Amino acid sequence: MSSIKNYIETNKERLINELIEILKIPSISADSAYKQDILKTADVVKLALEKAGCDLVEICETPGNPIVYGEKIIDPKLPTILVYGHYDVQPADPIELWESAPFEPIIKKTELHPEGAIFARGSADDKGQFYMHVKALEYMTSTNSLPCNIKFMIEGEEEIGSSSLGWFVKRNHDKLKNDIILISDTGMIAKDTPSITTGLRGLSYVEVEVTGANRDLHSGLYGGAVANPINVLCQMIASLHDENNHITIPHFYDKVQELSNEERAEMAKAPFSLDDYKKSLNINDIHGEKGYTTNERNAIRPTLDVNGIWGGYTGEGAKTVIPSKAFAKISMRLVPNQNWEEITELFTKYFESIAPKSVTIKVSAHHGGQAYVTPIDNIGYQAASKAYEITFGKKPIPMRSGGSIPIVALFEDELKSKSILMGFGLDSDAIHSPNEHYGIFNYLKGIETIPYFFQNFVDLQK
């Protein structure tokens, strides 16, 4: 048995229990009520990095949530790998749909995970995944096998747009200097099919407010004579897609990077069953932009979705009312070459232009980020590919993901370094959903694979 496998086998229970302790803290970044838990989590991460062998660990204050920075520099002449992750998590609601409490982690066996999975908010996104790197460092320092310098940057605002991290990165080019950035905050194709994420979509997130009359009105006395902002908002939103599910915002697609037929054919080789996909979601049919496959629709094509919509009376029983206001939160996933600020502006202008005179419109931008693609002909990718080959016995498949980690494009702009996305999650992990879980297999496999990345990355420089 390899030394790392042996280490994991010997320390398995502890590795799992330590993660469980971190999962107990509700570090929800979206809700300021959890600020103390955010700070507590940052402290726990700091302690974990110190114990794992970092020589210097700091809690770096920002305008928002603190960033935990750690490093172990063994020789300034050797390469430096910067590990990025996030200790903040999504809110747990709707809480009633959880089968166990989101911040009381439990291990349950599932059909896919007969060895067990840890159920808790943040288990896969991203506490379980960044912690694999902490434990991989622990292994490397305890066996004296860390082959290069390592830096950690674990932030607390990823789920709300990473704005403080942008602020921090811009001010700390020297501190963060590195040869490659390593991130585990994505997924892989299947438990037995490793993959390396080579693309992330960008994001533009806006909130719209539609106002009709200056107050809520009796829907009998005024109904039919005054605009109902909810009706108007629904019509406006519906008109943002045409009959082919193409987005109707003028110039929205102007800069979209189209893939060549070869690239599309390459993508189509990844294992995928439409039947299983439909079954896993309990849907009778799929939906999406005409002319593209499911895997293209959710990775290489831009989209527009309503994430939430509200207004009027939603309490018990019936209330007859024409509300004064209606609201929606809308996200657009973007692909390479689309600029999120430009898209936000295109959306705003168009949305205002299609509003009838009977209402007034306010659009406010939340946050956004650019898409990211990495080439596969660099040392970082090869180091990752070889690492998976050793631990899974299979070459990983390059895969573009539909999700977003907006800060990755900023890393490239500011620090001039590439990010390698070695994610160990699965689509079935239910991230951002009730009953989020992370397979113990995935967690331990990650810890096993990471040290090989380090060694391969150093060896490939020679």
Q: With binding defined as CB under 5 A, does residue 179 bind Mn ion?
A: no
Are the C-beta atoms of 401 and 201 separated by less than 8 Å? yes
Residue closest to ligand BES, measured at CB = 403
Using rule CB under 6 A, residue 436 touches ligand BES: no
Site size with ligand BES, rule: CB under 6 A: 14
Shortest distance, position 453 Cβ to ligand BES, whole Å: 18
CB of 406 to ligand BES, least distance (A): 5
Cα–Cα distance for residue pair 169/410, rounded to 1 Å: 9
Q: Which of 403, 439, 446, 451 binds ligand BES (CB under 6 A)?
A: 403
Question: What is the SS3 assignment for 307?
Answer: strand
Residue 328 contact, options Mn ion, ligand BES, none, Cβ 5-8 Å cut-off depending on partner type: none
d(CA 348, CA 346): 6
Stretch that binds Mn ion, among 28-36, 125-133, 161-169, 288-296 (CB under 5 A): 125-133
Cα distance between residue 298 and residue 35, in whole Å: 34
How far is residue 92's CA from residue 29's CA, in Å, rounded to a whole number?
A: 11
280 and 428 in contact (C-beta within 8 Å)? yes
Nearer to ligand BES, 187 or 212 (CB): 187
Is residue 406 a contact point for ligand BES (CB under 6 A)? yes
Residue 186 interacting partner from Mn ion, ligand BES, none (CB closer than 5 to 8 Å by kind): ligand BES
Q: 161, 367 in Cβ contact below 8 A?
A: yes
Q: Report, in Å, the least distance between residue 124 CB and Mn ion.
A: 8
In 3D space, the residue among 157, 120, 158, 141 whose CA is nearest the CA of residue 49 turns out to be 141
Contact criterion met (CB below 8 Å) for 184 and 129: yes
Q: Decide: is 125 part of the binding site for Mn ion (CB under 5 A).
A: yes
> DSSP strand E in 77-158: where?
80-86, 106-108, 117-119, 149-155
Which of 203, 240, 335, 399 binds ligand BES (CB under 6 A)? It is: 203
**Out of 18, 126, 138, 157, which residue is the one contacting ligand BES (CB under 6 A)?**
126
Distances in Å between the alpha carbon of 379 and those of 184, 342, 362, 375? Answer: 18, 33, 47, 10
The single residue among 64, 66, 187, 336 that binds ligand BES, judged by CB under 6 A, is 187
Binds ligand BES (CB under 6 A): choice among 37, 138, 158, 436: 158
Q: Which residues bind Mn ion (CB under 5 A)?
A: 125-126, 185
Q: Which residues bind ligand BES (CB under 6 A)?
A: 125-126, 158-159, 161, 185-187, 203, 401, 403-406
